[in-house]
Amino acid sequence: MARVEYWNHNVHYQPVILRAVPPRCGPALDVGCGDGMLACRLAERCTEVTGIDRDDRMMAWAVYHEGNSGAPIKDPDMTWGQVRATASRLLPGVRYRRRLLWRYSLLWRKPGG
């Protein structure tokens, strides 16, 4: 019997995100990291990865299953528009893109990096 691959809305975007991350990248932030699958894949390319999620149970599951010693958790307190405005102010040249399934991505390259 063929093996069924794990899929959810977040897994759908992993290849898109990973293609945008160069090898030996600096720190990465995964907001809404869920079960931590993307954060683990980012750790293969990035010097440091922080995953945050509002679902304490999901984060506890990820910590248990990935063997991590802890993970920061913060409830979201900004709308999409506020995120876009703040990102534009703090990260000049950031590319904000709304995606399907209530997702968005921010792509920023450090100048001169």
Per residue, the 3-state secondary structure of the chain, as one string, reads CCCCCCCCHHHHHHHHHHHHCCCCEEEEEEECCCCCHHHHHHHCCEEEEEEECCCHHHHHHHHHHHCCCCCCCCCCCCCHHHHHHHHHHHCCCCEEEEECCCEEEEECCCCCC
3 and 49 share one domain: yes
- Nearest CA among 88, 83, 73 for reference residue 36: 73
pTM given for the model: 0.59
For residue 113, what pLDDT is reported? 59
* CA dihedral over 17, 62, 28, 55, signed as positive or negative: positive
Same domain for 30 and 48, yes or no, is yes
Tell me: do 95 and 61 sit in the same domain.
Answer: no
* CATH code of 55's domain: 3.40.50.150
Q: How many domains are contained in the chain? A: 2
Residue 36 domain boundaries: 1-13+25-77
The answer to whether residue 19 sits within a structural domain is: no
5 within some domain: yes
pLDDT, position 89: 95
Output the pLDDT for position 87.
92
Are 68 and 85 contained in the same domain? no
pLDDT value of residue 54 = 73
Q: Is the pLDDT reported for residue 20 higher than 50?
A: yes
Residue pLDDT, tens place only, 42-86: 999 999 999 888 776 665 665 555 554 444 445 567 888 998 999
